[in-house]
Structure 1
Amino acid sequence: MLRARSSVRPERWRRADVVVAVVLAVALVAGGVLFWRTSAAATTRSVTAPTGSFPPPPLSLGSPPAGFTEAWRAPSQGTQAPLVAGPAVVTAADGEIAGRDAATGTTHWSYTRDDTICTAATGFGQVMALYRNESGDACSELTVLVPSTGARRVYSNPHALPGTRLLDSGTLVALTGSRYLQVLRSDLVKTTEFGTVDTPDQPGRQPYPDCSLDSFAITQGRLAVLERCPGEDQDRLTVIAPDGGSDATSPEVIFSALQPGAHGQVVAAAGDRVAVARPGPARLEVVDGQGGVVSSTPLAVPDADLAAQPPGGVAATTSDDRRVYWWTGSATIALDRADLQPVWTLPGTQGPGVRYGDAVLVPVRGGLAVVDPVTGAVTRTTAVDRGGWTGPVQSAVAGSVLLEQRGPDLVALRPA
Structure 2
Amino acid sequence: MLAPERRTRADIVVAGVIAATLVVAAFVIWARADATGTDSVTAATPAATITAATELPTSLQEKWHAADSSSRRALTSGNVVVTGDSGTVSGRDPVTGNQLWWYRRDMPLCAVESQYGTVIATFRDQRGCSQSVMLEADTGQRRVARTSYMDDEIRVSGDGTYLLALGPQRLEVWRSDLVRTLEYGYVDAPVNPNTQPRKGCELRSAASSSSRLAVLERCPGDATNRLTVLNPAPKESTAPEEHGSRVLTSPGAESGAVRVIAVSDNKIAVYYPPTEPTATEPGLPARLIVHDGTGNELATYPLPGEWDNRATVTRLGSAIYAFTGTSLIALSANTLEPAWTVPGALGTPALMAGRLLVPVATGLAAVDSGNGSTVAQIPVQRTDYQGDTISTAVLGETVFERRGGQLYALD
TM over 0.5: yes
Which stretch shows the higher mean deviation, 17-26 or 362-371?
Answer: 17-26
How big is the alpha-carbon RMSD for the aligned residues of Structure 1 and Structure 2?
Answer: 2.3
Equivalent residues of 2:62, 2:382 under 8 A apart = no
C-alpha distance after superposition, 1:166-219 (max 9, x if no partner): 122334322101121112234433221111224433332111222221111111
- Greater CA radius of gyration, 1 or 2? 1
Cross-structure match for 1:130: 122
- Whole-angstrom distance in 2 between the partners of 1:346 and 1:260: 31
With the length of structure 2 as denominator, give the TM-score of the two structures: 0.89
Distance 1:232 1:15, change over 3 A: closer
Deviation at 1:240, TM superposition (A): 0.9
Equivalent residues of 1:197, 1:209 under 8 A apart = no
Of 209, 233, 240 in structure 2, the residue corresponding to residue 251 of structure 1 is: 240
Of 93, 108, 111 in structure 2, the residue corresponding to residue 119 of structure 1 is: 111
Asked if 1:65 is matched to 2:65, the reply is no
Cross-structure match for 2:210: 220
Of 23, 30, 48 in structure 2, the residue corresponding to residue 29 of structure 1 is: 23
Deviation at 1:250, TM superposition (A): 1.4
Equivalent residues of 2:77, 2:115 under 8 A apart = no
Which stretch shows the higher mean deviation, 174-183 or 375-384?
Answer: 375-384
* Residue pairs, 1:156-167, within 5 angstroms: 156-167=146-157
Of 108, 113, 136 in structure 1, the residue corresponding to residue 100 of structure 2 is: 108
- Whole-angstrom distance in 1 between the partners of 2:393 and 2:192: 43
Which amino acid in 1 is paired with 2:369? Answer: P
- Whole-angstrom distance in 1 between the partners of 2:369 and 2:21: 68
Cross-structure match for 1:147: 137
Cross-structure match for 1:56: 49
- Whole-angstrom distance in 2 between the partners of 1:124 and 1:320: 13
Asked if 1:236 is matched to 2:226, the reply is yes
- Whole-angstrom distance in 1 between the partners of 2:177 and 2:100: 25
Distance 1:139 1:290, change over 3 A: closer
Unaligned runs of 5+ in 2: 275-284
- Whole-angstrom distance in 1 between the partners of 2:11 and 2:140: 49
C-alpha distance after superposition, 1:316-357 (max 9, x if no partner): 323244x31110111100111122111111111111212222
- Whole-angstrom distance in 1 between the partners of 2:342 and 2:146: 42
Asked if 1:176 is matched to 2:166, the reply is yes
Percent sequence identity is 37
Cross-structure match for 2:365: 369
Cross-structure match for 1:195: 185
Which stretch shows the higher mean deviation, 211-220 or 146-155?
Answer: 146-155
Asked if 1:340 is matched to 2:332, the reply is no
Cross-structure match for 1:295: 299
Distance 1:398 1:230, change over 3 A: same
With the length of structure 1 as denominator, give the TM-score of the two structures: 0.88
Which amino acid in 2 is paired with 1:251? Answer: P
Cross-structure match for 1:413: 410
Deviation at 1:29, TM superposition (A): 2.6
SS in 1 for 2:346: coil
- Whole-angstrom distance in 2 between the partners of 1:124 and 1:332: 26
Cross-structure match for 1:82: 74
Equivalent residues of 2:151, 2:169 under 8 A apart = no
Equivalent residues of 2:151, 2:170 under 8 A apart = no
Equivalent residues of 2:162, 2:209 under 8 A apart = no
Which amino acid in 1 is paired with 2:102? Answer: S
- Whole-angstrom distance in 2 between the partners of 1:15 and 1:87: 67
Number of equivalent positions? 394
SS in 1 for 2:215: strand
Deviation at 1:11, TM superposition (A): 5.9
Which stretch shows the higher mean deviation, 363-372 or 121-130?
Answer: 121-130
Equivalent residues of 1:64, 1:356 under 8 A apart = yes
Of 381, 393, 396 in structure 1, the residue corresponding to residue 393 of structure 2 is: 396
